[in-house]
């Protein structure tokens, strides 16, 4: 989720407590604790590092007590005389990190919450990257705290941060069941939230080397079949992954990647999970000069099938064309167990 949602959930958790440290820093520090795991974006100064490290070890449930202790040690205002003990600050910080992991794990991006025991990306496919139905009630609860029923508003907002994603998980499963009933012979199928879900969903289905993207409404009804897109062949992805680190990490991350041959002979492989079926949302992205897929891999191949050059684009980052770099056995992805 976005940083505003994470910070608001942490602030509400502090305000919902029956008693809190008598310092004006209590709520800002709670918001900081709930948003802290996303500090890993500071490590992603290249597209490859961003894919390797974002929502990695900083989002691991097994390590959350360690990160919670680190936060508790730097939260000096909470531990002043009359405030919390180190143990209370540690417990609260750890719970805020777990709340952060929960909100990220139900999104389409997912998180490596099971590190260091497993590199499985926990991905609920229930929330879009920005969800106003989640964020706006949290902000409204914060604004209502100054009223007579302020603590009740904070409790309601905190419950919303926990229960709304759970409800969306149930809705996603129901929509996926409807899609499988309508398209029973697909080899792989995913139902993802579109902009303003739960009213809009996207169905990605692969069959016989082709991928279909269809819109689904809140009642589980799909629109007419869209043009088929060529799926990236597994053999090609394996060849690219064996020769270049960017290709390797992208292959592990991508969901039903699509393949296209561009002018100039370069192969474009891109991920479909963050697109939209809504014309107005697609037009907005186009006006903002942003592609619907923020994760794009380009590769130029020699006649013998070896990789000549690679280019990885991640959100606003761009590696530029460069010679293939073999997967690193001592890099961040190796530490994550991805190699």
Q: 242 pLDDT exceeds 50? A: yes
Identify which of 166, 175, 173, 202 has the alpha carbon closest to the alpha carbon of residue 274: 202
Predicted local confidence at residue 328, as pLDDT? 67
Predicted local confidence at residue 339, as pLDDT? 43
Q: 215 pLDDT exceeds 90? A: yes
* 288-307 per-position pLDDT tens digit: 666 667 789 999 999 888 99
| DSSP letters for 151-207 | HHHHHHHHHHHHHHHHHHHHHHHHHHHHHHHHSTT-SEEEEEE-TTTTSEEEEEEEE
* 117-175 per-position pLDDT tens digit: 988 899 999 998 889 999 999 999 999 988 878 889 999 999 999 999 999 999 999 99
Range scoring the smallest mean pLDDT among 13-17, 94-98, 183-187, 312-316 = 312-316
Strand order in the sheet with 258-261: 258-261, 267-270, 295-301, 307-314, 317-318
- Per-residue confidence band for 35, with pLDDT thresholds at 50, 70 and 90: very high
Average pLDDT, the chain: 89
- Distant-in-sequence, close-in-space partners of 191: CB < 8 Å, separation ≥ 6: 125, 172, 175, 176, 179, 201, 202, 203, 204, 216
Predicted local confidence at residue 80, as pLDDT? 74
Tokens describing residue 48: 């490859």
Predicted local confidence at residue 108, as pLDDT? 92
Backbone angle region of 196, left / alpha / beta, with phi > 0 → left and psi within -120 to 50 → alpha:
left
Predicted local confidence at residue 76, as pLDDT? 80
Q: What is the mean pLDDT of residues 21-44?
A: 90
Q: 336 pLDDT exceeds 60? A: no
Identify which of 89, 63, 87, 62 has the alpha carbon closest to the alpha carbon of residue 74: 89
Predicted local confidence at residue 329, as pLDDT? 57
Answer whether 17's CB lies under 8 Å from 88's CB: no
Helix (H, G, I), strand (E, B) or coil at 327: coil
* 114-130 per-position pLDDT tens digit: 999 988 899 999 998 88
Number of residues in the chain: 339
Predicted local confidence at residue 274, as pLDDT? 83
Identify which of 158, 129, 119 has the alpha carbon closest to the alpha carbon of residue 30: 158
Predicted local confidence at residue 70, as pLDDT? 94
């Amino acid at each position: 989720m976005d940083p505003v949602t994470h910070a608001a959930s942490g602030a509400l958790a502090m305000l919902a407590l029956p008693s809190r440290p008598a310092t004006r820093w209590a709520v800002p520090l709670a918001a900081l604790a709930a948003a802290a795991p996303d500090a890993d974006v500071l490590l992603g100064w290249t597209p490859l590092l961003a894919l390797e490290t974002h929502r990695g070890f900083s989002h691991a449930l097994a390590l959350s007590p360690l990160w919670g202790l680190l936060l508790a040690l730097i939260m000096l205002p909470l531990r002043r005389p009359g405030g919390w003990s180190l143990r209370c600050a540690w417990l609260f910080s750890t719970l805020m990190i777990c709340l952060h992991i929960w909100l990220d794990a139900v999104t389409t991006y997912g998180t490596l919450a099971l590190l260091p025991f497993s590199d499985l990306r926990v991905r609920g496919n229930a929330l879009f990257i920005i969800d106003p139905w989640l964020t706006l009630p949290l902000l409204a609860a914060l604004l209502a705290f100054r009223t007579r029923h302020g603590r009740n508003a904070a409790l309601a907002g905190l419950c919303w941060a926990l229960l709304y994603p759970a409800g969306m998980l149930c809705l996603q499963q129901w929509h996926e069941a409807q899609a499988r009933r309508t398209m029973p012979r697909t080899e792989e199928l995913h139902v993802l939230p579109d902009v303003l879900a739960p009213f809009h969903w996207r169905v990605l289905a692969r069959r016989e080397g082709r991928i279909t993207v269809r819109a689904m409404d809140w009642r589980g009804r799909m629109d007419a079949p869209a043009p088929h897109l060529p799926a990236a062949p597994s053999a090609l992805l394996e060849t690219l992954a064996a020769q270049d680190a960017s290709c390797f990490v992208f292959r592990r991350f991508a969901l039903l990647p699509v393949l296209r041959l561009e002018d100039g002979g370069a192969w474009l492989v891109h991920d479909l999970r963050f697109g939209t079926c809504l014309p107005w949302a697609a037009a907005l992205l186009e006006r903002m000069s942003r592609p619907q897929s923020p994760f794009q891999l380009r590769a130029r191949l020699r006649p013998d099938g070896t990789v000549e050059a690679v280019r990885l684009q991640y959100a606003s980052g761009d590696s530029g064309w460069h010679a293939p770099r073999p997967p690193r056995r001592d890099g961040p992805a190796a530490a994550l167990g991805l190699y």
